[in-house]
């Protein structure tokens, strides 16, 4: 574990993925985040961007520096996945009521299809 992988939680699936326990292919990685494809894709492109540090969600007082790196990775991932020109949607769920099922902060990057103009 590097200094950036703070607070790794034994029972957290994303901490295990970040630690390399499942030999997951990383679409992108840097000192702060890793990105990997969602196991249950909801669009032709569905990639998750996950901070190396275990933070539950935006209500868990994440370091603004970490958020800067998390959101800076979005366009890089979109380029790598080839959806930066066609367009992509990002989703980030906070809490069970919003549909969060993995309690390690992450941003969904969805693309490769035409989305409706609504939000829900």
Nearer to ligand AMP, 35 or 66 (CB): 35
Q: Residue 24: how many CB atoms within 10 A of its CB?
A: 16
- What dihedral angle (degrees, nearest 10) is formed by the CA atoms of 12, 17, 98, 109? 170
Nearer to ligand AMP, 97 or 99 (CB): 99
Pick one of 27, 36, 45, 54: the residue that binds Zn ion (CB under 5 A): 54
Is 58 within 8 Å of 107 (Cβ atoms)? no
**Residue whose token pair is 């007082």:** 61
Tell me which residues touch ligand AMP (CB under 6 A): 13, 38-40, 48, 93, 99-102
Q: Is 90 in the site for Zn ion (CB under 5 A)?
A: no
With contacts defined by CB under 5 A, how many residues of the chain interact with Zn ion?
6
Our answer to whether residue 106 is catalytic in this structure is yes
CA–CA dist 92, 75 (Å, integer): 15
Q: Catalytic residue positions? A: 106
| Contacts with Zn ion, residue ranges (CB under 5 A) | 9, 12, 14-15, 54, 104
């Amino acid at each position: 574990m590097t200094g950036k992988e703070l607070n790794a939680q034994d029972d957290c699936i994303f901490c295990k993925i970040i630690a390399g326990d499942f030999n997951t292919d990383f679409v992108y990685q840097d000192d702060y985040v890793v990105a990997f494809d969602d196991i249950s894709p909801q669009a032709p492109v569905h990639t998750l961007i996950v901070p190396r540090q275990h933070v539950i969600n935006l209500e868990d007082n994440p370091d603004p520096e970490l958020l800067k790196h998390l959101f800076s990775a979005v366009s890089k991932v979109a380029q790598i996945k080839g959806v930066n020109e066609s367009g992509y949607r990002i989703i980030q769920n906070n809490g069970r009521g919003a549909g969060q099922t993995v309690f390690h902060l992450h941003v969904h990057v969805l693309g490769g299809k035409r989305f409706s103009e609504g939000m829900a």
